Amino acid sequence: MALARVQNFAISLDGYGTGEGQSADAHFGHAGDRLHQWMFATRWWDAGGSGGVDDAFVQQHDPGIGAEIMGAGKWGHPGWQDDADWKGAWGPNPPFHTPVFVLTHHTRAPIEMEGGTTFHFLDASPAEALAVAREAADGKDVRIGGGPTVVNEFLAAGLVDHLHVVVVPILLGRGVRLWDGLEGLEKDYRVEATSSPSNVTHVTFTRVAS
Amino acid sequence: MALARVQNFAISLDGYGTGEGQSADAHFGHAGDRLHQWMFATRWWDAGGSGGVDDAFVQQHDPGIGAEIMGAGKWGHPGWQDDADWKGAWGPNPPFHTPVFVLTHHTRAPIEMEGGTTFHFLDASPAEALAVAREAADGKDVRIGGGPTVVNEFLAAGLVDHLHVVVVPILLGRGVRLWDGLEGLEKDYRVEATSSPSNVTHVTFTRVAS
């Protein structure tokens, strides 16, 4: 059975997956790039980077993935709906290389990019979106790509099979929180925590067969 | 210079230091003992326990401490103010063995217990309480003993020199949060994260000399 997976999802120690004040110049708001410096230091990101535990986790981002689901907040900064030419923040060849389903009330025609990425726009519930993405993934796994609101909603709906969260030891203080309303989530999962020399902690929730 | 230290302060992955619904039978509310199972498995707590990394951290609770400051929520469950005989939840020989300063608007006469613990009651700001506790500690360190509100207030006031937080990978969903309003706390500290085979993560904030 193909899985629904969250990979490399970074949060602050106080639980924020993105900061406050997102804009075209600040995709993560006041968090800047502080939630992802651990990732930039891996050889996955940069050939001269480290091949340690951060890299071992981050390398799981692509293999076996056949589609991604993302929220409108990841797709575009506030106001993208008014920009008919907006094609996402990743340039002409986005790093997905699969169909990507953007959850939004502001749907538009699909956008085909270089490298195998096509953005589709869906106004749908998490369960409906996952069914569509599974079909498109053709037997491979579906990545739930964020932001925090989307990951939270898929977790609340019980739709996530494997969750990889990266806790970065900073306190953002404000932004969008990942964990709200998920009391007892751990009961359905095998949970493991692994700290890294970079001082982030990888926490994985892997669903226990029921 | 003697330090103000927080030791062994356990929180859930979603940042709660105690659960909801504290009572005489549930000192941590609906969290029960889930925030402290890692501690009960150490040889510090139980002679047959593990001497690994959890034990190495927990052993720092007592040495070098000359006084503790705790909040009224740690001292007693809601309603203790109406119980003239309340002497804390730790029995006749509490595990402090130093002066303990309880921060409360409901002060009462000091209570001398067996084993060197005397409970004093202070209606004071964090800075004022720390000055009093330092005097009583006679050159030793002062432990800021919790609960989450007290630790939060001392952190917000910049009064904590060393903070040892234990992140337990459960989601409590409700209760009293540790991290609210502490944006950027990490800037003044050297921060280190160490996960344990028990799956908790020890996060230490050690103040950088300024």
Over residues B115-125, the pLDDT tens digits come to 999 999 999 99
Number of domains in chain B: 1
Residues 133-152 of B with CB under 8 A from A: none
The beta-strand segments (E) located in chain B are 4-12, 16-18, 65-71, 99-103, 111-112, 118-122, 141-144, 162-168, 176-177, 189-195, 201-207
**Percent of chain B scoring above 70 in pLDDT:** 100
Q: Which residues of A touch B192 (CB under 8 A)?
A: 169, 199
Q: In this complex, which of B171, B181, B203 lies closest to A185 when CB atoms are compared?
A: B171
Check if B195 contacts A (Cβ < 8 Å).
yes
Q: What is the Cα–Cα distance from B24 to B161, expressed in whole angstroms?
A: 32
Q: What is the Cα–Cα distance from A169 to B204, expressed in whole angstroms?
A: 10
Q: Which residues of A touch B170 (CB under 8 A)?
A: 184, 186
Over residues A149-164, the pLDDT tens digits come to 999 999 999 999 999 9
Q: Which residues of B touch A190 (CB under 8 A)?
A: none
Across the range B157-178, mean pLDDT stands at 98
Do the chains contact at B193 and A199, CB–CB below 8 Å? yes
Residue B25 clears pLDDT 90, i.e. is over it: no
Residues 85-114 of A with CB under 8 A from B: none
pLDDT reported for residue A21: 93
Over residues B186-206, the pLDDT tens digits come to 999 999 999 999 999 999 999
Q: Tell me the shortest Cα–Cα distance from B93 to chain A, in angstroms.
A: 35
Check if A199 contacts B (Cβ < 8 Å).
yes
Check if B83 contacts A (Cβ < 8 Å).
no
Q: Tell me the shortest Cα–Cα distance from B86 to chain A, in angstroms.
A: 33
Q: What is the mean pLDDT of chain A?
A: 96
Which of A76-80, A127-131, B162-166, B172-176 bottoms out in mean pLDDT, i.e. has the lowest? Answer: A76-80
Check if B158 contacts A (Cβ < 8 Å).
no
Check if A203 contacts B (Cβ < 8 Å).
yes
Check if A173 contacts B (Cβ < 8 Å).
yes
| Complex ipTM over 0.90 | yes
Over residues B34-79, the pLDDT tens digits come to 999 999 999 999 999 999 999 999 999 999 999 999 999 999 988 8
Q: Tell me the shortest Cα–Cα distance from B133 to chain A, in angstroms.
A: 28
Answer whether B133's CB lies under 8 Å from B141's CB.
no
Residue A120: domain span = 4-207
| The model's pTM | 0.95
Nearest CA in chain A to B178: A14
The residue type of A19 is G
Q: Tell me the shortest Cα–Cα distance from B21 to chain A, in angstroms.
A: 15
Give the residue among A113, A176, A105, A118 at the shortest CA–CA distance from A147.
Answer: A176
Q: In this complex, which of A169, A181, A191 lies closest to B173 when CB atoms are compared?
A: A181
**How is the beta sheet containing A65-71 ordered, strand by strand?**
A111-112, A118-122, A99-103, A65-71, A141-144, A4-12, A162-168, A201-207, A189-195
Q: Which residues 6+ apart lie within 8 Å of A1 measured at CB? A: none
Over residues A74-132, the pLDDT tens digits come to 999 888 999 999 999 999 999 999 999 999 999 999 999 999 999 999 999 999 999 99
Q: Which residues of A touch B14 (CB under 8 A)?
A: 15, 179-180, 182
pLDDT category, B210, cuts 50, 70, 90?
A: low
pLDDT reported for residue A25: 85
Give the residue among A210, A209, A203 at the shortest CA–CA distance from A7.
Answer: A203
pLDDT reported for residue B135: 97
Q: Which residues of B touch A203 (CB under 8 A)?
A: 13, 169
Q: What is the mean pLDDT of chain B?
A: 96
Over residues A63-85, the pLDDT tens digits come to 999 999 999 999 998 889 999 99
Domain harbouring A43, CATH code: 3.40.430.10
Do the chains contact at B182 and A14, CB–CB below 8 Å? yes
**Percent of chain B scoring above 90 in pLDDT:** 95
